[in-house]
Structure 1
Amino acid sequence: MPRSLPAAIGLALFLALPCFFLSALPAQTIFAEQEIRTLIARQAEAWNRGDVNGFMAGYEHATTTTFVGASITRGYQQVLERYLERYPTRQKMGALTFSNLEVQMLGEAYASAVGQWNLKRASDDGGDVGGYFTLLLRKTGVGWRIILDHTS
């Protein structure tokens, strides 16, 4: 009987170990989702200050960063130039809000986010516009960054 007790304890520990690691995953997921929500909120704050460069800080600074809208724009610099061309003044930028944000983890290093965007502007600056977006994000050495943005 004494020999079976250590074996039973060993088996119990072996079976409990995966549960320990799996229980840590929801906390990691919640933390990652909060980081992503904060990133997107900071983008709106930067936009509403008229800070396009601050808004772009949410994107990965890479040639592979892609924006899909009426056309496809590839490269961080090209996406930045697109924003600067389309929104050359603070008035044209208007006030940006995001809503109905849903974040889904796609592993430890990737996530998707979908939601709605709304831009309030004066009628002579194009009026109010809005739509939906889908983002693919990657966890980088400097935090979560958008690598693909499909906005309609």
Structure 2
Amino acid sequence: MKNYILIICAVMLSQVSSAQTSQTADKKAILSVLKMQRLAWSDNNIEGFMEGYWKNDSLKFYGSNGITYGWENTLERYKQAYPTADHIGTLSFKINDITKITDDAYYVMGEYHLKRNVGNATGIFMIILKKIEGEWKIIADTSS
């Protein structure tokens, strides 16, 4: 009986450890997506920045002007809001929280900072990322 309890405890501990390792890997991969976006943005490459988003009509972006649906519409929204390199500037993030929602989805809460020639800008965001075909993609973005 004593051995049986020890085996159950060992199995439970290995499952917890495996889950923690999986979450650590997920968070690292999500941070990698955000880093790629930050670098692309700061290189005046909005299309590269958009590679972090789900290329689908169901993508949702919710900002100060309401909700935008779809990857193409979100790209156009960014291009209109940031028409020149002076408007785009240099992007940095402060990530405040990354939380698992389900096995293949997380939300990220943070702050963004744009250092720009036309005046700096700051705000907050919450994004939802989902693992789609092995890649983490933003499926919903709320920024203000």
Q: Structure 2-normalised TM-score?
A: 0.91
Q: Which runs of 5+ in 1 are unaligned?
A: 1-6
Give 3-state SS (helix, strand or coil) of 1:106's partner. Answer: strand
Q: Calculate the aligned-residue CA RMSD, in Å.
A: 1.6
Partner of 1:28: 22
Are 1:115 and 2:110 an aligned pair? yes
Are 1:101 and 2:96 an aligned pair? yes
In 1, Cα distance between equivalents of 2:134 and 2:113 = 28
Q: Is the 8 A contact 2:95 2:108 kept in 1?
A: no
In 2, Cα distance between equivalents of 1:117 and 1:14 = 46
Q: Deviation at 1:10?
A: 4.8
Partner of 1:4: none
User: One-letter code of the match for 1:19?
Assistant: L
In 2, Cα distance between equivalents of 1:107 and 1:18 = 20
Are 1:81 and 2:73 an aligned pair? no
Q: Is the 8 A contact 2:62 2:143 kept in 1?
A: yes
User: One-letter code of the match for 1:69?
Assistant: G
User: One-letter code of the match for 1:39?
Assistant: V
Q: Deviations over 1:38-72 (max 9, x none)?
A: 11111010001111111000001111111100111
Equivalent residue pairs, number:
143
In 2, Cα distance between equivalents of 1:98 and 1:15 = 41
Q: Deviations over 1:94-125 (max 9, x none)?
A: 111111432111121010100100111123xx
Divergent runs of 4+, >6 A: none
Are 1:150 and 2:134 an aligned pair? no
In 2, Cα distance between equivalents of 1:68 and 1:59 = 14
Greater share of residues in strand: 2
Q: Is the 8 A contact 2:107 2:127 kept in 1?
A: yes
Label 1:13 to 1:40 Cα distance change in 2 as closer, same or farther (>3 A): same
Partner of 1:135: 127
Partner of 1:90: 85
Are 1:17 and 2:11 an aligned pair? yes
Q: Structure 1-normalised TM-score?
A: 0.86
In 2, Cα distance between equivalents of 1:63 and 1:88 = 23
Q: Which runs of 5+ in 2 are unaligned?
A: none
Q: Deviation at 1:11?
A: 5.3
